Amino acid sequence: MKITLLQTDIVWENKEKNFRNLEELISSVTDGTDIIILPEMFSTGFSMNPAELSEAPASGTLEWMRSVAKNKCSGVCGSYIVKEENHFFNRWVFVSPENEIWSYDKRHLFSPGGEKNLFDRGSNRVVFNFRGVRICPNICYDLRFPVWSRIKNDYDILINSANWPESRRDVWTTLLKARALENQCYVAGVNRIGVDGTGIKYCGDSMIFGPKGEIIASGERNMQCAVHGEISMEELSDFREKFPVLNDADDFEVLI
């Protein structure tokens, strides 16, 4: 499976400019790419203004994603702000070229940034299958909570869409690698660059890790770019069979 991470500078609270910017990057993505992964809140930046920026579940941003998925014959995913019955969600959405849709609401809301006061947290851990690969999504701050993404022999790649500040970049890269090692899975983490409307700086460090903790692909720091990598289900299966540490994992239950 071929994966592309779009490491982009996000224009603060300006959806149209962000769509145009992303379309320029997407135009460089080669045919045959299976999944295009976008950052957290890719159309607005990590804004705590959901009353003005939120959308209904089926609205402009989803239609844009549908168009990209169809034109590129690729799955497209990332998070944006959704409103349902006066509740706001930081919702990660995956759209297939066949218009199949899967979604995940961010579980761990970033209380230091005020997200916990404005958004409702998700209650469901999500895993789905796309082109023979089992995918588990999470969003930014979720990465710090390993129990939530602990594998149950049920997924092959963990995808994290983020707005992760440069000041904590070592934490970002360390946790991406840790999730890959402890779960014997691929991990794809895409992060933005630039400075947001609150003055927070981001430097990217978008990466794909393999199950042995090896870096498969990475984006250059502070550079807007498309990061391409390829993962192999055959190699993953062989590694898990030869070194079956997951068979010795503790049983656990996540309490909602």
Active-site amino acid positions: 40, 106, 140
Q: Which residue has the tokens 């990209």?
A: 68
Output the CA torsion sign for 31, 65, 4, 29: positive
Helix axes 60-72, 15-26, angle to 10 degrees: 10
HSE-up (13 A, CA, CB side) for residue 61: 27
With a CB cutoff of 8 Å and minimum separation 6, the contacts of 153 are 246
- Identify the three-state secondary structure at position 100: coil
Name the DSSP class of 93.
E
Q: Can you give the length of the chain in residues?
A: 256
Give the span between the Cα atoms of 65 and 70, in whole angstroms: 9
24 burial level (CB within 10 Å; 0-12, 13-18, 19+): exposed
All residues at 6 or more sequence positions from 234 whose CB lies less than 8 Å from its CB, including other chains? none
- Identity of the residue numbered 182: E
Tokens standing for 233? 């289900």
* β-strand partners of 3: 35, 229
SS3 state of residue 23: helix
